[in-house]
Chains A and B, each alone.
Chain A
């Protein structure tokens, strides 16, 4: 039970590469914080710095209000679940889970109790005598989790733990991790590049890009109010549609020269980007008012039915966009549709990519 506090944490590698550029994150006791971002954004480095596996160039890392910058991983009272599980291949499942406890000099009977408890929680009890190679991917994943929970640490660290599982199992494990974390109430930091995983797991979501934090917040807040075009395009699948515009005398000018009326839209930047989620478009029947919103012409390129919904791919003002339509779409390629984006669903970003 502990809070994790990062203050202006930086990482500069020997070659001068700045992998993490001054990150401040405050994780409350018992919360699950997800670090999400594209590969190379520094999220794993940051996690490893919390773990103590990577030195901290600058700033402080506090666990339970105690600065741990100079402590080794074993002294920080953390447990980590690795991407490739990192199970000891020559040890039985039982020993894999017990190893960390033995190194801490815990009495045998207590170790046994803890391991069996953890195994019961994770439904591993019948596998304790097996070796890692005799287990399936999902089972190995559970053992890696078991190794973390027997320790009863202050903080769990997860480094893309589900990326080696197939899609179905991943969904299942995601729910389990979430439940387990809730049930144990252990503060957790979870790294992933999968925005769906990030959205569903996080209490606090941290979107990172190029070594810096782009936005911190509750997942749905971030979804509804992305702070930048980067966050907008990273969170949500399919991603938010972004259309660059130029503010003209009487409204907005799209890249292909189309002028659109934009009453009620205050765009002060000369170059701006308007964004809208694929599900926020409405097909105009001609009678709706679009005051405060935008009325646009969409040329259909293709339709992807996925069952419960369909994705209509098209072009607006020279930019490719995706529209999510409930059920089946009757649109055909080369159709022209009039679509309305309601004003309250519209996101506006300045020329620097920041939300206006």
Chain B
């Protein structure tokens, strides 16, 4: 599909640019709205150029407090979401890399049983086991805590399987060379397996961070207090059915703020794991 025909290239570029415009315009529009005053937003048509209320709107949202969610600031929601997404991503990676390590490199009784137990959890996503999980969380008094928000989402079969697949591509000779070199299980894990898994960890971190960031159902159930909820839930709560009740300019600010951290993670980590991909070669 690579051709040097200038007309073909022109057409291809036009299609790509149109595509980008279609995808990017709503985001741009939200950004425009977030810089207008509520009155301007409520009086269509909305200008396509940024308004003069950028600082005012963003500082109000980040540090002020928003009436519809009980005076909690968006800054607080951002912190909550970040903690949740980070805890889920890091927790999942730690748990799954350790369990994959055990399953691939050790022979212990019941190894296959454990493997299948992990595998079966693939068929039980949060939504399916939500009632019993919720009951357990209530009994343990974990409603409105970070523990309650993150722990039930950590056990992850997908990440375990992914690491397992990767570990199985590591040549047996490398494992044996490490044994001859006097590396025990822990040293082998730390000195050899972890550095070789860097790319996988980076890729998984991006995916899992976004997974955690966009969680909706579980935080909705687990949090009653407005100051413990996530930005996604907060955003939902800020919108009232009656148009006049909703502070649309702050909603738009929250929208823009809510998409920034995932974009940041993707952009930063992408550089990191593309470099890893180029470097790693077995």
Contact = CB atoms under 8 A, between A and B. Distances in A.
| Chain B binding surface SS class | helix
Most buried by A among B176, B178, B191: B176
A53 B182 CA distance: 12
Contact of A74 (B171, B182, B196, B282): B182
A230 interface: no
A99 B190 CA distance: 13
A133 B171 contact: no
Given A73-B176, A82-B176, A99-B191, 16 more contacts: A52-B179, A53-B179, A73-B179, A74-B183, A86-B176, A88-B174, A88-B177, A89-B196, A89-B282, A90-B192, A90-B196, A99-B181, A100-B180, A103-B183, A147-B177, A147-B181
A104 B180 CA distance: 11
Interface of A: 51-53, 72-74, 78-80, 82-90, 99-100, 103-104, 133, 147
Nearest to A53: B176
A74 B191 contact: no
26 contacts: A53-B179, A53-B180, A74-B180, A74-B181, A74-B183, A78-B180, A79-B180, A80-B177, A82-B177, A84-B171, A84-B173, A86-B171, A86-B173, A86-B176, A86-B177, A87-B177, A88-B174, A88-B177, A88-B191, A88-B192, A89-B280, A99-B183, A99-B191, A103-B181, A103-B182, A147-B181
A83 B180 contact: no
B195 A90 contact: yes
B281 interface: yes
B122 to A, nearest CB: 30
Nearest to B170: A89
A266 B179 CA distance: 56
Contacts, number: 60
B237 interface: no
A86 B187 CA distance: 17
* The 4 nearest A-B residue pairs measured at CB: A100-B181, A74-B182, A86-B173, A86-B177
Nearest to A100: B181
A173 B173 CA distance: 21
A74 B180 CA distance: 5
A259 B195 CA distance: 72
A248 B259 CA distance: 96
B237 to A, nearest CB: 47
Interface in B162-212: 171, 173-174, 176-183, 187, 191-192, 195-196
Contacts of B180: 51, 53, 73-74, 78-80, 100
B177 A103 contact: no
A85 B174 CA distance: 8
A130 B265 CA distance: 31
Contacts of A78: 180
A72 B188 CA distance: 15
A133 B176 contact: no
A27 to B, nearest CB: 19
A306 to B, nearest CB: 36
Contacts of A53: 176, 179-180
A142 to B, nearest CB: 15
Given A89-B280, A89-B282, A90-B195, A104 B182 contact: yes
Contact of B173 (A73, A82, A103, A147): A82
B201 to A, nearest CB: 13
Nearest to A159: B173
A86 B179 CA distance: 12
A74 B178 CA distance: 9
Contacts of B191: 88, 99
B221 to A, nearest CB: 43
A140 to B, nearest CB: 12
